[in-house]
Amino acid sequence: MASTSSTLPAGGPWLRVLIVGAALVTVTFGIRQVFGLFVVPMSMALDSGVQMIALAIAVQNLVWGFSSPFFGALADRIGAWKVAMVGAAIYTGGLLSSALIVSPGG
């Protein structure tokens, strides 16, 4: 009886998917993990309390959690790559807007 192995070839599309996925996770989780370090300096720069920044982070976490099933279903319907690109664009817009904000009201 001959044994057949189903090994994937070195490199190929799976390696690209792994690298891009790891980069996305590194960037998004890295930003989320260090954001707490910037709460006090941001609240001082915006002349608002820590509560405003904490509320914004809490709302972001809730939106992320509640929208995950919907974006997962959308990825099943139109493709994960398209949904990931739209998500990356939205995330980039959010980061840019948070960098350009001058007061808690906008």
Domain boundaries, the chain: 15-100
Residue that is written with structure tokens 């809730």 in the block: 62
Q: What is the mean pLDDT of the chain?
A: 82
Do 10 and 32 form a contact (C-beta atoms < 8 A)?
no
Assign 77 a pLDDT band (cuts: 50, 70, 90).
very high
Mean pLDDT calculated for residue range 2-23: 75
Q: How is residue 37 annotated by DSSP? A: G
The enclosing H or E element of 36 equals none
Which residues, 6+ apart, have CB-to-CB distance to 24 below 8 Å? 84, 88
The Cα–Cα gap between 40 and 84 comes to: 31
Mean pLDDT calculated for residue range 84-92: 89
> What is the model's pTM?
0.57
For residue range 52-74, list pLDDT tens digits in order: 888 888 888 899 899 999 999 99
Mean pLDDT calculated for residue range 73-93: 91
Do 104 and 52 form a contact (C-beta atoms < 8 A)?
yes
Q: What is the pLDDT of residue 4?
A: 60
Q: What is the pLDDT of residue 58?
A: 85
Mean pLDDT calculated for residue range 21-34: 82
